[in-house]
Structure 1
């Protein structure tokens, strides 16, 4: 009888241990689903809907959809990320009051990051960045070739709370001579609070600073996301309202950031 009880206890503790291990694995997967330097091929579909702009008429709005592809190489030490935008910008004609909208392809940017810190809890990378003037209309892009750098870090020492940031800077070096030169930086802090079972709270606003026109936008965001595994694909869906605390010039005042990020596990 004692042997039977001991066997039952052993099975019980083993099952509990397996359950804890599976929960820990799920938490780790949910955390890495938001790591921009994760050693996995990724395809992201993200959208910014901006119904309210600062220093613009109430009828003005913007909508930008981003398609982003990321691919690690050289054993995961390097990561290539390419992003392209499809945008709509609507602005009323001050004389007639008619809202004129322009839609099309925006500029395309890419950067290569070298991960000089890469372990289970901390990833830090940096590398060159370039933007090509692929916009189909001048209001949708800069008309300039731009070059600069990107620095990104992701800290996941806690299975509950992860944080990090992406810093980019670019300036124009070629392009249409009749278009204004560019010189701008973006800071994107991000923070994720795991609620369990793949659900998490999140924020990933982009603080933008245009040094040429002295325009800027400093939003804050708080949203919710869900991570699920579908076969060998990690699916990360989220929605995040953002409100700009500080603005100068015509910038997003309120926007809704939503997306589906796919990571493909080999």
Structure 2
């Protein structure tokens, strides 16, 4: 059964790749929009919805589906400074992860980030720095931490005329309040990425996600290569991306055998 699910997702990847590349070729001059999309602190309003499907989790061979709604809103503070606000709102449904026959579905904890980003010089380093907040919004005990958290977050990247973006995002969150019966949060997250975009709007990227739980002394490293494209649905600009996920390092209780990530982003190129 597990292998059938994996094959279905591989077929879906191929189909979505074909569709997204075709749309990207028809979309016209969208290369600049794709370049902005590769930049986490670009002045681009967007509403990405990222889905993650993981199979064969832990000894119970569980499964988990996560939909991350990630609205991004840039706020221009001056000619030289922009505040980029970003939320990650996870909605999770998992089976056989916490126990045989157990199912948990609901909202997980929300992470809010704000990046103060100076206007970059042409061809210069693009960067942003600010606070990150963990908000205990989980609707089920197993889906969240029951802790309020805060810490710094930063992003830095470089974009070339050849359509390559190379950068990294990082944050560190510590819990500062919440349920005293739950474990404290002390977690580091590091996400290096490289993206290659073409003038058609098509692109390929490679993303690593490293998470270190200092409190629980656990390490996770995930690799996600993906392909992407941009098209228009009526007047609405939309980006698609899809690719597999690979566990490179993970504790046995959370390691998955196979995963897929797909994302659709609604783009609003005009700055507020």
TM-score range, shorter chain: 0.7 to 0.9
Partners of 1:43 and 1:69 within 8 A in 2: yes
Pairwise CA RMSD of aligned residues? 2.2
Deviation at 1:229, TM superposition (A): 4.5
Deviation at 1:116, TM superposition (A): 3.2
Q: Which residue of 2 aligns with 1:81?
A: 86
The one of 234, 239, 259 equivalent to 1:236 is: 239
CA distance, structure 1, for counterparts of residue 122 and residue 42 of structure 2 = 10
Choose 173-182 or 76-85, whichever is displaced more.
76-85
Q: 1:232 to 1:32 in 2, by over 3 A?
A: farther
Deviation at 1:164, TM superposition (A): 1.0
TM-score (norm 1): 0.82
Q: Secondary structure at the match of 1:205?
A: strand
Q: What do residues 231-257 of structure 1 show as CA deviations (whole Å, max 9, x unaligned)?
A: 764321000211021223533433211
Q: 1:196 to 1:265 in 2, by over 3 A?
A: closer
1:126 aligns with 2:129: yes
The one of 38, 51, 61 equivalent to 2:63 is: 61
Q: Secondary structure at the match of 1:243?
A: strand
CA distance, structure 1, for counterparts of residue 147 and residue 39 of structure 2 = 30
Deviation at 1:89, TM superposition (A): 2.2
Question: Which protein, 1 or 2, shows the higher relative CO under an 8 Å CA cutoff with sep ≥ 6?
Answer: 2
Structure 1: state its 5+ residue gaps. Answer: 1-22
Structure with max Cα Rg: 1
Aligned residues: 239
Q: 1:262 to 1:205 in 2, by over 3 A?
A: farther
Q: 1:231 to 1:114 in 2, by over 3 A?
A: farther
CA distance, structure 2, for counterparts of residue 158 and residue 216 of structure 1 = 36
Choose 152-161 or 44-53, whichever is displaced more.
152-161
1:49 aligns with 2:53: yes
CA distance, structure 1, for counterparts of residue 38 and residue 147 of structure 2 = 31
The one of 91, 96, 101 equivalent to 2:96 is: 91
TM-score (norm 2): 0.80
Q: 1:234 to 1:152 in 2, by over 3 A?
A: farther
CA distance, structure 1, for counterparts of residue 175 and residue 51 of structure 2 = 26
Higher strand share: 1
Q: 1:138 to 1:35 in 2, by over 3 A?
A: same
Structure 2: state its 5+ residue gaps. Answer: 1-27
Q: 1:67 to 1:158 in 2, by over 3 A?
A: same
The one of 96, 102, 105 equivalent to 1:103 is: 105
Query: Which structure 1 residue ranges, 4+ long, deviate > 4 Å from structure 2?
Result: 229-233
